[in-house]
Amino acid sequence: MRTVIVADDITGANVSNSLLAKAGFKVGTLEITSSLEEYKDYDALAISTASRSVSAKEAYASVLKVMGNLIKNKVSLDFYSKRIDSTLRGNLGAEIDAMLEMLPRETLAIVVPAFPTSKKIVIGDYLLVDDIPLEQTDVKNDPTTPVLSSRVTELIAKQSKHPIVHLSLDTVLKGKDAIITRLTEIKQQPAGIVVCDSCTATDLESLSDALIEMKQAFLAVDPGPFTQSLVSTFDKKSKKAGVKDNILMLMGSASPIAIEQLNHLKENLNPYIIRVDVKKICQFSNRLEEMERVVKEAVLHNADSRILVISTMVTLEDKKSLEELAVSLNQTKEQVSSAISSGLAEIGKFLVESKKVDFSAYYTSGGDVTQSFLEALSANGIQIKAEISPLSVYGKMKGGPLAGKALITKGGLVGDKTTITECINYALERLAKEGVR
């Protein structure tokens, strides 16, 4: 098992588990910790102490009891996680202290309150919600646990007996090595809690990489995303990642919204992206060579991320109108469009036939790409299972070598910047529940 998450309410427990489930991990939420034997094959378990609105003393006792039961059960874990509210309500310091009390003395509590997909980031020790300081949001009016400060260290210090150190965004942005250097310095100080700035999924990954590489005993304290990053990093480093659900995305949309959607995906799910040279794919003399190049790179880097994107556009600089391409290639717009769609489809077909990669699901953007992909793989249709959002669906392919495999399709110009990320998250969560690759 990777981790046990101790949350102060059932909703929080489920939020953390949902993030892990979307990433393809097997998770469960428990009310008691008396017997964990039947859950030994799970990646993570979350347990609620229902202690957010009680006194600090009661919260401390509740968490201490849960930790005592877990240790008594001799649960083997990579790390423990203390789930905190994303708006820092509740008994933060008391519950962190209770968990540290039961863990080895050298354990550092690494507090990472950022929740990038919910527009919650930490800069200079201040939690900002959609660019607004936390204390200026509605959480200040919470009837049971109002929050009147935006400073993370201040809120924790109200109840904790441990020294608290702040890890700046400047250090985090410099990456893993800089974080390791700073944490090594902190270990020499009388510090038990480290509050970390972070703004993006990349920041969380840098923190995760640093902690795991330096083999520091730690307690993760966060609202869910940092724990998910840690579990994914441990999983990858132990060579288990190859059995997790993965998705091949074929994108041929030439629109600014497609670039926004791809950028949002990059910020939140860290895909490996390969850009297809549109001009070469449309030229008979260069077409096969370009497809072979893309396939070779895809096979080489397939294990780098659970999401592999093959796209004709990665930045706005890649955008070329069909008219411009048609003129430069002495072709019609229809010929160029067809060459792009069929080229992406054939790349997908080559990857399937290579048998060097095995994807759990496939994503196609735009009707032409979807149709070309189905034809290339001799599929005779899609069994629609669910609508993810307007004009975005999840289904299973019928016929051909990919019969029964999941397919997510979306109109090329459909949705806002979050739509592709929402589609992929939905697919990962559904695949995890279906338990098939």
Give the model confidence (pLDDT) of 389-403 as tens digits.
888 999 999 999 999
> 434, 360 in Cβ contact below 8 A?
no
Q: What is the pLDDT of residue 24?
A: 78
Is the same domain home to 218 and 249?
Answer: no
Domain that holds residue 84: 3-241
Is the same domain home to 92 and 36?
Answer: yes
Is the same domain home to 166 and 183?
Answer: yes
Q: Is the pLDDT of residue 119 over 80?
A: yes
pLDDT tens-digit profile of 12-53? 999 999 999 888 788 988 876 656 777 878 899 999 999 999
Q: Is the pLDDT of residue 337 over 80?
A: yes
> Of 208, 241, 274, which one is at a domain's C-terminal end?
241
Q: Is the pLDDT of residue 437 over 70?
A: no
Is the same domain home to 228 and 252?
Answer: no
Q: What is the pLDDT of residue 157?
A: 97
Is the same domain home to 320 and 208?
Answer: no
Whole-number average pLDDT of the chain? 91
pTM here is 0.63
- Count how many Cα atoms sit within 13 Å of the Cα of residue 138 in the half-sphere of its side chain: 1
Q: How many domains does the chain have?
A: 2
Q: Averaged over 188-214, what is the pLDDT?
A: 93
Q: What is the pLDDT of residue 206?
A: 96
Q: Is the pLDDT of residue 407 over 60?
A: yes
pLDDT tens-digit profile of 283-324? 989 999 999 999 999 999 888 888 999 998 887 776 666 678
The conformation of residue 356, written as its DSSP 8-state character, comes to: S
Q: What is the pLDDT of residue 435?
A: 59
Whole-angstrom Cα distance, residue 128 to residue 137?
A: 9
The three-class DSSP label of residue 141 is: helix
> Of 220, 241, 262, which one is at a domain's C-terminal end?
241
Q: Averaged over 195-206, what is the pLDDT?
A: 96
Q: Averaged over 85-96, what is the pLDDT?
A: 97
> Of 207, 241, 275, which one is at a domain's C-terminal end?
241
Beta strand residue intervals within 125-231, DSSP E = 126-129, 132-133, 164-167, 193-196, 218-222
> Which amino acid is it at 204?
L
